[in-house]
A and B are shown apart, each in its own frame.
Chain A
Amino acid sequence: MGIEGIGASVVRKEDKRFITGKGRYVDDIKLVGMTHAHFIRSPHPHAKIKGIDASAALKMPGVLAVLNGKELVDDKIGNLICGWMIHSKDGSPMKMGAWPAMAPEVVRFVGQAVAVVIAESKNQARDAAEAVVVDYEELPAVADVKAAIAPGAPQLHPEAPGNQVYDWVIGDEAAVNDAFSKAANVVTMELSNNRLVPNAMEPRAAIADYDAAEEHFTLYTTSQNPHVARLVLSAFYNIAPEHKLRVIAPDVGGGFGSKIYIYPEEMVALWASKKVGRPVKWTGDRTESFLTDAHGRDHVTKAEMAFDKDHKITGLRVKTYANFGGYMSLFSSSVPTYLYATLLSGQYTIPAIHAEVIGVYTNTTPVDAYRGAGRPEASYLLERMMETAARQLKVDPAELRKKNFITQFPHQTPVIMAYDAGDFNASLDAAMKAIDYAGFPSRKAKAKSEGKLRGIGVSCYIEACGIAPSKAVGSLGAGVGLWESAEVRVNPVGTIEVLTGSHSHGQGHETAFAQLVADRLGISINQVQIVHGDTDKVQFGMGTYGSRSAAVGLTAILKAMEKVEAKAKKIAAHQLEASEADIVIEGGEFKVTGTDKKIALPMVALAAYTAHNLPDGMEPGLKESAFYDPSNFTFPAGSYICELEVDPGTGKTTFVNFVAADDFGRLINPMIVEGQVHGGLAQGIGQALLEHAVYDGNGQPVTASFMDYAMPRADDLPSFKLSHTTTLCPGNPLGVKGCGEAGAIGSSAAVINAITDAIGNNALEMPATPDRVWRAMQG
């Protein structure tokens, strides 16, 4: 590795613009003649729209138009789609109601858009929205997943009787029943996984600009995947064909999944821009984020785990109710099925697993993938079960895990996944050493003497990342392939532009991706520019989510680099009158091994573009592209251990130590990797202790601002102690596994296991607020 190559903690190239206030986010962009949109949203969780009177609003200063859902229908704008087909156990396709971008007749969650005001200024649009009168007839509503499937519950969509979207199963039920009939011990738990709001710090925003002469749209949007946005807007929403729609996702202020989806606001902005003949900007406020960004998690689960007399797991039975909200968001159907139940084997050899997942409509904001997406729910469930099992069996929780760890690879689980590599003992040992696990009993005793309850909690997670082999996900119902594309352009002066379909919204691609190029050619990262986020520049891309950008996006760049290098070697050999096989690339030069003959990269590039002296038959230029489709998922795994104290008088928890030992395969930039883990841990700990999107019994959200929803703040969190163990991923040439979601997947259970250890009561739900902990302590 060079000082800027693979494995170096290089400070980020992109930071300068962010620390000097020169980042360019969507809301920072102004177009000539730009107008402003403000949406009118339902205050009711479930209601019929009897009429919309915009006559007063239309007379107000600066108002250009007030548009509603009926006009969308009239203009044949398509409904929002769900792009992953799931079939119920009876073979029937999932049952979905239509989701129009603005509701023409019925609203099904608080915050659903019913109309939009377009005005000269933001304030004028907001003022006019106050004057639009929407006549609603309120309908009974239901927010809780169990209540929604109970007989007599209010019904959301006629297409989905009983509010049930699907009843899906995976695994061998008979084998599981057999395991339980022979079990020496059975552990049973009922757990909920609390609903979360992603809350990227930059609220969603969009600017749509229609060029009537060219019949061409440009959309600036806060997207993790601008090409997917263009594809969906073109293929399903009837906005414009792909060649007449340019989507730009400039600097994007965090995503965590919530900016994967194509939301009503972008669609409406595009449509409205054509209608008013002017650019239209919409920038959400934070309350709109709470009401309309896709939420995460929200499961209710009953699980049973069977053990034999030697404490080996013999079976796992899971039944989960997943709350989807009022409509099926873009990838929502896949989250509690193929992203959740396929990880229920965790790090353990479990011979038989059966899971049933019932997807349910409720009068709440739609739920979709949020950092980890299904895998945090699986990990939390399993790791709570393992800790509870250890207590029930009266064995050390770490030892029980080790006894059941998978140690031979590849390992085929009973729930689709084939783990390719790992060393689970190594990461657990590293974490136990880092926290001095052996010394815990004496620390606990000392804390007790000081009036504090000290607890320790282990969590061993595994995730399936590098999403995903296209053929595999296609066979499971995905509507898209999940490969990635890249293009490497060597300019005539030898500088390099890399165009990638991955999108960086905090992950540091502009640095980490440049490190690969620098590493291979022996040049500085400053000679490399990473270009992303613009459908007019980048050939195509599936975007960034599911910890896929290193494993899939960077491998695509590697594949394009290999083609560039092969051609450049041919040119160098020709110029140096040497054999191509003797050319090596070092320090930005092409050298003939064993001689002092060499030619610098800029001269090779110049030769490629002047084309005065190329090998016979060679095309001029030095630019190659690649599409890379992974052969398998990747399987990052690791162990987290949390040590904390609970104040017996108040139930308040205080962190003593939090250690993480992750196996991400090869690390490109360890500094960036650790930053990703820190952020993931904060979100997992936030779920464990603080965050909860709460609805009252009638579907009114009661946590729709930062005043009401507890975001993790600096003084809620400890500093983390990170370490890494390494098994290279055999599935890609870089050996990388992905690191973006691990922290959020593994940490929640470690925290709750530590608290339940401290208080001696396993019955505790997230978020473990002081109030809940105190009540649990009372038994």
Chain B
Amino acid sequence: MSQVQLTVNGKAVSADVEDRTLLVHLLRDHLNLTGTHVGCDTSQCGACTVHIDGRAVKSCTVLAGQADGASVTTIEGIARGDELHPMQAAFRDNHGLQCGFCTPGMIMSAIDIVSRHGGQLDEATVRHELEGNICRCTGYHNIVKAVLDAAGRMKVAQAAE
């Protein structure tokens, strides 16, 4: 057992976990942040994607201990109160989700994609960048639309700040 201390969605947390505990299980089982999902066991599907120190990471590939001292953001931590993150709003407005299971990981990956590419995104780039997130419901059509829409919204939001 080890104690890990980290910041999750802006709050300092600590937990005693088995050394083999993955970050995703720390989030889900110890911190009850069940918005981060487990869709596979080979780090392929991306349903568990969170941000560690601002970068999108599959939380099933990271031991909880490796996140010691890090700042982790999950799907529960991106809205500001009742105000949705522009990516969340774009997924809703473009019908970029159906069953919702891959959605948290998609949104966390998509935010990272937009922030890395700035506003310089096109459909081909979005499709290539989303390769690590699997969705079985939407055929990606509306997810791609949502990400491109959000890229515009995030640019506007950034300009406003």
Measured CB to CB, the residues of A under 8 A from B are 11-12, 14-25, 27-28, 30, 123, 199-203, 251-254, 256, 285-287, 505-508, 671-672, 674-676, 678-683, 705-707, 711-715, 717, 719-720, 743
Q: Are A706 and B40 in contact (CB under 8 A)?
A: yes
A15-B91, A20-B75, A21-B75 known; A714-B133 Cβ under 8 A = yes
**A19 near B143: Cβ-Cβ < 8 Å:** no
Are A678 and B141 in touch, CB under 8 angstroms?
yes
| Cβ-neighbour of A671 out of B74, B75, B95, B107 (below 8 A) | B95
A57 to B114, CA, bound (A): 49
Are A719 and B123 in contact, CB atoms less than 8 angstroms apart? yes
| Contact of A715 with B128 in the complex, beta carbons under 8 Å | yes
CB distance from B129 to the nearest CB of A (A): 8
Could you tell me if B40 and A714 are in contact, using CB atoms closer than 8 angstroms?
no
Q: Which residues of A contact B76 (CB under 8 A)?
A: 20-22
**Does B42 lie within 8 Å of A706, measured CB to CB?**
yes
Given A11-B92, A27-B34, A713-B131, 10 further pairs, Cβ under 8 A:
A11-B95, A19-B75, A20-B76, A20-B88, A21-B104, A201-B134, A201-B135, A202-B37, A715-B130, A717-B141
CB neighbours of A714 from chain B (8 A): 126-128, 130-131, 133, 135, 140, 143-144
Residues of B within 8 A of A (CB): 18, 20, 28, 32-42, 44-45, 47, 74-76, 79, 84, 88, 91-93, 95, 97-104, 107, 123-124, 126-128, 130-131, 133-144
User: CA separation between A720 and B74, bound complex, in Å?
Assistant: 31
Contacting residue for B44 out of A256, A674, A707, A717, CB 8 A:
A707
Report yes or no: A675 in contact with B95, Cβ–Cβ below 8 A: yes
Cβ–Cβ < 8 Å partners of B39 in chain A: 201-203, 286
Residues of A within 8 A of B144 (CB): 714, 719
Tell me whether B136 and A199 are in contact (CB under 8 A): yes
Set of chain A residues within 8 Å of B18, measured between Cβ atoms: 123
* 7 A-B pairs with the lowest CB-CB distances in the bound complex, closest first: A21-B35, A18-B100, A253-B101, A682-B139, A506-B99, A506-B98, A706-B44
Assuming the A-B contacts A15-B92, A201-B135, A719-B141, are A507 and B37 also in contact, with contact meaning beta carbons closer than 8 angstroms in the complex?
no
Docked complex Cα distance between A200 and B39 (Å): 9
Please determine whether B142 and A675 come into contact, CB atoms closer than 8 angstroms. yes
From B33, B79, B99, B123, A201 is in contact (CB under 8 Å) with B99
User: Are B134 and A713 in contact, CB atoms less than 8 angstroms apart?
Assistant: yes
23 contacts across the A-B interface (CB closer than 8 A): A14-B100, A19-B88, A19-B91, A19-B97, A21-B74, A27-B38, A200-B101, A201-B37, A201-B47, A201-B101, A202-B99, A202-B101, A253-B102, A254-B98, A285-B41, A507-B98, A674-B95, A683-B136, A706-B44, A712-B139, A712-B140, A717-B127, A720-B141
Contact yes or no, B100 A506, CB < 8 A: yes
Q: Does B101 contact A717, Cβ atoms closer than 8 Å?
A: no
Are B138 and A675 in contact, CB atoms less than 8 angstroms apart? yes
Residue contact B34 to A200, C-beta cutoff 8 Å: no
Q: CA of A743 to CA of B140 in the docked complex: distance in angstroms? A: 14
Separation of A27 and B97 alpha carbons in the complex (Å): 20
Kindly list chain B residues whose C-beta atoms are within 8 Å of the C-beta of A507: 98
CA distance A743 to B91 in the complex (A): 22
- Among B91, B97, B99, max chain A CB count under 10 A is at B99
Instruction: Check B136 against A201 for contact (C-beta < 8 Å).
Output: yes
Given contacts A18-B103, A251-B100, A506-B99, contact A23 B41 (CB under 8 A): no
Query: With contacts defined as CB atoms under 8 Å apart, how many contacts are there between chain A and chain B in the complex?
Result: 180
A14 to B103, CA, bound (A): 13
Q: In the complex where A203-B39, A714-B131 touch, is A679 in contact with B100 (Cβ < 8 A)?
A: no
A253 pairs with B100, CB closer than 8 A: yes
Q: Helix, strand, loop or mixed for chain B's interface?
A: loop
B98 touches A675 (CB 8 A): yes
Choose one: A203, A286, A505, A678; the contact of B138 (CB below 8 Å): A678
Within the complex, the shortest CB–CB distance from A376 to chain B, in Å, comes to 15
Asked if residues A678 and B139 are in contact (CB atoms below 8 Å), the reply is yes
**Residues B140 and A682 in contact, CB atoms below 8 Å apart:** yes
Q: What is the CA–CA distance of A710 and B34 in the complex, to the nearest angstrom?
A: 27
User: Is B34 a contact partner of A28 (Cβ separation < 8 A)?
Assistant: yes
CB distance from A672 to the nearest CB of B (A): 7
Contact in complex: A506, B44 (CB < 8 Å): no
CB <8 Å contact, A18 and B97: yes
- Are A23 and B100 closer than 8 Å at their CB atoms? yes
**Bound form: Cα–Cα A27–B74 in Å:** 17
Residues in B whose Cβ lies below 8 Å from that of A287: 41
Q: A218 to nearest B CB, angstroms?
A: 19
A12-B92 in contact given A28-B34, A286-B41, A715-B127 (Cβ < 8 Å): yes
Q: Which residues of A contact B34 (CB under 8 A)?
A: 21, 24-25, 27-28
Closest Cβ of chain A to B33, distance in Å, is: 7
In the complex, the answer to whether B101 meets A713 with C-beta atoms within 8 Å is: no
Contact B107 A19 (CB under 8 A): yes
A residues less than 8 Å from B124 (CB atoms): 715
Measured CB to CB, the closest approach of chain B to A79, in angstroms, equals 30
Alpha-carbon distance A492/B159, docked complex (angstroms): 49
A346 to B92 Cα, complex, angstroms: 37
Residues in A neighbouring B100, C-beta threshold 8 A: 14-15, 17-19, 23, 251, 253, 506
**What residues of chain A lie closer than 8 Å to B102, measured between beta carbons?**
201, 253
Q: B137, A254: Cβ atoms under 8 Å?
A: yes
Q: Chain B residue with minimal CB distance to A28?
A: B34
Query: Once bound together, how far apart are the Cα atoms of A27 and B28, in whole Å?
Result: 9
What separation, in Å, do the CA atoms of A570 and B36 have in the docked complex? 51
How far apart are the CA atoms of A591 and B69 in the complex, in Å?
Answer: 65
**Contact A200 to B99, CB < 8 A, known contacts A678-B141, A715-B131:** yes
Q: CB-CB < 8 A to B41: which residues of A?
A: 285-287, 705
Query: Which of chain A's residues has its CB closest to B99's CB?
Result: A506
Contact present for A256 and B88 (CB under 8 Å): no
Complex contacts, A705 vs chain B, CB 8 Å = 40-42, 44
How far apart are B58's CB and chain A's nearest CB, in angstroms? 12
Q: Which one of B28, B36, B84 contacts A19 once the chains associate, using CB atoms below 8 Å?
A: B84
Contacts of A12 in B (CB 8 A): 92, 95
Contact of B136 among A672, A679, A720 (CB under 8 A): A679
* Residues in chain B near residue A252, CB distance under 8 A: 99
B141/A200 in contact, CB under 8 A: no
Q: Which of B98, B101, B128, B136 sits near A711, CB closer than 8 Å?
A: B136
Q: Give the residue name and chain of the A residue nearest to B126 (CB).
A: A714
With a CB–CB cut-off of 8 A, which chain B residues contact A200? 99, 101, 136
| B contact residues around A256 at 8 Å (CB) | 136
Instruction: Assess the B33–A706 pair: CB atoms within 8 A.
Output: no
**Within the assembled complex, what's the spacing in Å between the Cα atoms of A672 and B135?**
16
Contacts of B32 in A (CB 8 A): 30
Complex-state Cα separation, A508 to B92, whole angstroms: 12
A279 to chain B, nearest CB (A): 15
Candidates B36, B38, B138; contact of A679 at CB < 8 Å: B138
Q: Are B139 and A681 in contact (CB under 8 A)?
A: yes
